[in-house]
Chain A
C-alpha cells in the first residue's frame, strides 16, 4: 500500500517532462523535422535549476511565492487523481470539485504573478487567461459532473471504478462528456487552438506572456508545473472516461500491468494533441469563446442523457 502510494505521488512529476518531450517529438516528425530528444525537457529543467534568476525590483511576494505554490498544488493534484489504481478513494482531496478548484487556484496565482511586476505583456497574458478561464470552468465542471451523475459520487476514484464497470451501451453520454472535456483540456493546458505553447511572439501569447518575467529556478518550477498540469489533464481524460485496465485492488502484483496500460493511454492522448497541433491553425482569439460554449453544451447534453 505504501509503495503504491509513493508511486502515485511521484509518478506525475517524474514522467510529465517526458510527456511534453514526446508531444514535441511527434510534432517535429509530423513537420518533417528531426526534433530534440524526448528527454530534452528534463535537460531543460536541469539547466534552469542551475541558472541565476533576475527578479524585477517591483515584484511583490506574490511573484516570488507563486512558483512554489503552483508547483506544490500540481504535486497534490497528481497524488489525488486516479492514475493506475483506485484504492485511494478515502482521500478527501480527490473530490471532483476540490480538484477543479485546485486547478482554478493555479490559474489564479499564475495570473496574479503575471500582473504583479507591471510589465505590459504580463497584464495582457493575465487578462486573456482570466477571460478564457472563466469560460472554461463551466465546461470542465459539467463534463466531469456527467460522470459524477453516472457514478453517484463526486469522488474521482469511485467514479473511475464505477465507469470501468459500465456496460457498453450506457457509454454514449460519456463520449459526449469526453468531447467537452478535451476542449477544456486544450484551453487549460494552453494548447492549440487556444494558445501556442511554442510561440514567443509577445503579442499572441497567453501562458507564455504570464511567465515572461520568470527566470532560473522559479521558471524551472513553473515549466515543470505546466508539464504536471498537462499530464494531470491527460490522466483525468484517460482514467475518468476510459478507466479500463485500472487496478482495483491493493495488490502490488496488479500494479505493473495497470501502470503500462496507463502509460499507453497517456501516449495515445499525447499523439492526439501532437497531431491536432500539427494539423490546424490557431483560432482567432474572439472565436475561442464559441468553442468553449460548445464544450459547455456538450456537457449539458451528456448530463441530460444520464439523468
Chain B
C-alpha cells in the first residue's frame, strides 16, 4: 500500500500530515485523541507500540504526547500527537485500551502530566524515596541533582480472609538474579494474588540518552538490558539512521541478521535449559548451559564480546566475518543444532518433565491480549506477531522462515516456542551465511546529521519480543527525547495473571518461562 492510501484509510480527512521516512505524524485536538486512538486500535486493529511525552517547552513552549501505532507488514508507523499548551493534564485512553495503562503511568511519574480518567494513577518505577514533585524527564530537571529523600511507604494490594497470609519475596534473591519484589497472598500453597514491585534497577537511562554523545548513546543502548545488547542497539541505530536518511550497506544488513540471530540462539538455549532446571530436570539444564556457552564463545570469537557489544554503529557494523570463518561458523552451528536436538529429544521423552510443564502458568488469551502481550508469550498463545516479518528490517525481507506458534499459553508452550525459534534461527543463519553479498563496505560514509523537529522509530525483534526506540529531535537537530520500550515493560503486567490459582512452588518455573528483563523494564 502506498503512503497516500494509508493516509486515506487510517487518518480522518482534513488533518495535516507530515511524512518522514516510514513515519506519518499528525496533530490531533486534545478532545479528539481518545476517539482517534480507539478507531486505530479497535477498528483498524493496529498495534499500539508506545505512548510517550516530550518536553519542548524550551523549544516551542509545550509538552507533546505521542501515540505510536504500527501498520503491520507495511513497516509504517502512524503517530497522532496532542499538544498540551499550558496544561498538565491529558485525557487517558486506558479506559478503552488497557495496554496504554503502563505508558500513561510512566508519563505521570516522569513528566508530571496527569492522565485524566485513568483508573489507577500510581507512581511506577521510581522508588518511594523519590519526591512526588520532582519529574526527572522534564528539561528543567538537571540529571546530576540528587533530590532530598522522602520516606513514603509503599502500599501493596491486600487480600484479607481466614488463613490468608502474605509472603514477601525479594528484592534480594537467593540466586544471582536481578532485583524485584514480589508480594504473594496465599491460602496454603495456592496463590490468590501476586503483586510485583519493580524499579529497583532504575538508572535514569532515558535521561542519559539526552545528555551523552552519539557514540555513547549507542553504547548506552547496548546496556539497557545486557542480555539483549545487540538487538537493543540495533533498534536505536535504526531509529537514528531513519532520522538522518542513512542507507546502510547490503553486507552490513546481512551481518546484523547474523548477530541478531546468534543473540537469540544463545538466550533461547539458555532459557530452555533454565526452564528444565527449574522443573528439576538437571540433565537438560546442564546440557543447555554447555551449548549456550559454545554460542557465547563464538560471539566472542567473531566480535571480541560475548554479548556482541561494540558491533553496532550508526550506518552499519564494525565487525566483518571472513568467508573462512563463516564456513567454520556454519559447521559449528550444525553441530550445536544436532547436539541440541538430541538433548531436546531425550528431554521430551521424559514424561515427568512434560507433565510438570504442561498446564502450568496458563494465561487467559483475552487478558493477555488486553495487556498487549508480545514476543514469546504472545506466540505461545497463537498470536502471529514477529517484528522481523511485521516491520521487516535489516535483511529479513530476503529470508524465508516461519513464525513459531503454539496454542496453549502454558509453560510448555513457551518452552516449545523457544525450541521452534531456535530451528528457524538456524535456518536463517544458514541462508544468511550462504547469501551474504561479497562487497567489502560495512558502514555508510555519510555523516550523521539528524533532521530537525523530526521523529525516528526503530523496531527490532529481540529474543523476548519487539523492542521499540522512538527518537525525537528538536529545532536545532539534537536528540531531545529517546523513548525505550523493552518487551518486558508489557509482559511484566501479564505475569501476575498467569500465576493466579497456581501454587507457590510453581512460581519460579512460570517466571522463568517468561524470563523478563528487570533492567529493560526499570530503565
| Interface: A229 (CB within 8 A) | no
Task: Report the nearest A residue to B189, measured CB to CB.
Answer: A285
B74 at interface by CB-CB < 8 Å? no
Q: Which residues of B contact A281 (CB under 8 A)?
A: 276, 279-281, 350, 352-353, 355-356
Query: Contacts A201-B175, A285-B189, A286-B503 given: A278-B282 contact, CB under 8 Å?
Result: yes
Determine if A279 is an interface residue (Cβ-Cβ < 8 Å).
yes
CB-CB under 8 A from B290, the residues of chain A are 32
Q: Are B282 and A31 touching (Cβ within 8 A)?
A: yes
Q: Is residue A50 within 8 Å, beta carbon to beta carbon, of the partner chain?
A: no
Task: Identify which of residues 125-178 in chain B touch chain A, using a CB-to-CB cut-off of 8 Å.
Answer: 167-169, 173-175
Q: Is B505 an interface residue (CB 8 A)?
A: yes
Does chain B have a CB within 8 A of A196? yes
Determine if B283 and A282 form an interchain contact, defined as CB atoms under 8 angstroms apart.
no
Residues in B whose Cβ lies below 8 Å from that of A199: 280
B280 contacts A202, C-beta separation under 8 Å: no
Which B residues between 184 and 214 are near A, CB-CB below 8 angstroms? 189
A196 touches B280 (CB 8 A): yes
The answer to whether A200 and B174 have CB atoms under 8 Å apart is yes
B430 within 8 Å of A by Cβ? no
CB-based contact B508/A283 at 8 Å: no
The answer to whether B352 and A193 touch across the interface, beta carbons within 8 angstroms, is yes
Question: In the complex, what distance in Å separates the CA atom of A198 from the CA atom of B505?
Answer: 15
A32-B287, A120-B167 as given contacts; A201 in contact with B350, CB under 8 Å:
no
Distance in Å: Cβ of A124 to nearest Cβ of chain B: 7
Which residue on A lies nearest to B177, using beta carbons? Answer: A201
Q: Are B507 and A203 in contact (CB under 8 A)?
A: yes
Q: Mark A98-140, 1 if CB is under 8 A from B, else 0.
A: 0000000000000000000000100010001000000000000
Known: A200-B175, A279-B283, A281-B356. A124 touches B504 (CB 8 A): yes
Q: Are A282 and B280 in contact (CB under 8 A)?
A: yes
Cα A238 to Cα B506 in complex, Å, equals 35
Q: Do residues B169 and A202 form an inter-chain contact, with CB atoms below 8 A?
A: yes
Residues of chain B within 8 A of A196, CB atoms compared: 280
Check if B189 sits within 8 Å of A280, measured CB to CB. Answer: no
**Set of chain A residues within 8 Å of B174, measured between Cβ atoms:** 200-202
Q: Contact string, A17-32, partner B, CB cutoff 8 A, digits 1/0? A: 0000000000100111
Q: Are B356 and A284 in contact (CB under 8 A)?
A: yes
A270 to chain B, nearest CB (A): 16
By the criterion CB–CB under 8 Å, are A120 and B168 in contact? yes
Count the B residues whose beta carbon is within 8 Å of the partner chain — how many?
29
Instruction: Decide yes or no whether B114 CB sits under 8 A from chain A.
Output: no
B residues 269-302 near A (Cβ < 8 Å) are: 276, 278-283, 285-287, 290
Assess whether A283 is in contact with B356, with CB atoms less than 8 Å apart. Answer: yes
Report the minimal beta-carbon distance from B169 to chain A, rounded to whole angstroms. Answer: 7
CB within 8 Å of B: which A249-284 residues: 277-284
Return the chain B residue nearest A208 by Cβ: B174
Which of A31, A281, A284 is the most central at the interface, judged by chain B CB atoms within 10 Å of its CB?
A281
- Docked complex Cα distance between A283 and B168 (Å): 25
Specify which chain B residues have a CB less than 8 angstroms from the CB of A283 in the assembled complex. 352, 356
User: Which residue of chain B has the shortest Cβ distance to A284 in the bound complex?
Assistant: B356
Residues in chain A near residue B503, CB distance under 8 A: 284-286
| Binary contact track B13-31/A, C-beta < 8 Å → 1, others 0 | 0000000000000000000
Per the 8 Å Cβ criterion, residues 487-511 of B in contact with A are 503-508
Is the pair B283, A31 in contact by a Cβ cutoff of 8 Å?
Answer: yes
Which residue, A30, A120, A193, A198, has most C-beta atoms of chain B within 10 A? A120
Chain A nearest Cβ from B119, distance in angstroms: 30
The CA of A277 and the CA of B281, in the complex, are separated in Å by 8
Q: Please determine whether B283 and A30 come into contact, CB atoms closer than 8 angstroms.
A: yes
Closest chain A residue, CB of each to CB of B503: A285
How close is B125's CB to chain A, nearest CB, in angstroms?
A: 24
Partner of B508, one of A30, A204, A279: A204
Q: Given A120-B168, A279-B350: A201 and B282 within 8 A (CB)?
A: no
Residues of A within 8 A of B352 (CB): 193, 280-281, 283
Smallest CB gap from A212: residue in B: B174
How far does the Cβ of B280 sit from chain A's closest Cβ, in whole Å? 3
User: In this complex, which of B175, B281, B353, B507 has the most chain A Cβ atoms within 10 angstroms of its Cβ?
Assistant: B281
In whole angstroms, what is the CA distance A120 to B506 when docked? 17
Residue in B174, B175, B286 whose Cβ sees the most chain A Cβ within 10 Å:
B174
Bound CA–CA A282/B173 (angstroms): 21
Whether A192 sits at the interface, judged by CB under 8 Å, is: yes
Q: Which of A267-307 contact B (CB under 8 A)?
A: 277-286
Contact assessment for B287 and A31 in the assembled complex, using a CB-CB cutoff below 8 Å: yes
- In the complex, A283→B505 CA distance in Å? 10
- Compute how far the CA of A31 lies from the CA of B288 in the bound complex, rounded to whole angstroms: 10
Bound-state Cα–Cα, A198 to B280, Å: 9
- Please give, as numbers and ranges, the residues of chain A lying within 8 Å of B508 by CB-CB distance: 201, 203-204
| Cβ distance B324 to chain A, nearest Cβ, rounded Å | 30
Q: Cβ of A203 and Cβ of B504 under 8 Å apart?
A: yes
A279–B283 alpha-carbon span in the complex (Å): 7
Q: Is the beta-carbon distance between B280 and A193 smaller than 8 angstroms?
A: yes
Q: How far is it, in angstroms, between the C-alpha of A271 and the C-alpha of B260 when the chains are bound?
A: 43
Chain A 131-158 interface residues, beta-carbon cutoff 8 Å to B: none
B184 nearest in chain A by CB position: A203
Among B281, B355, B505, B507, which residue has the most Cβ atoms of chain A within 10 A? B505
CA distance A120 to B350 in the complex (A): 33
Residues of B contacting A284 with CB < 8 Å?
Answer: 355-356, 503, 505-506
CB B171 to nearest CB in A, in angstroms, measures 12
B163 to chain A, nearest CB (A): 12
Q: Can you list 12 A-B contacts with CB-CB less than 8 angstroms, sorted by A residue number?
A: A120-B167, A124-B504, A128-B189, A200-B174, A202-B169, A202-B174, A203-B169, A203-B505, A279-B350, A280-B281, A282-B279, A284-B356
Report which A residues bind B (CB closer than 8 A).
Answer: 27, 30-33, 120, 124, 128, 192-193, 196, 198-204, 277-286
| Nearest 4 interchain pairs by C-beta | A282-B280, A31-B286, A281-B281, A281-B353
Beyond A204-B508, A282-B279, A284-B355, 6 extra complex contacts between A and B, CB < 8 Å: A27-B282, A31-B285, A120-B167, A278-B282, A278-B283, A284-B503
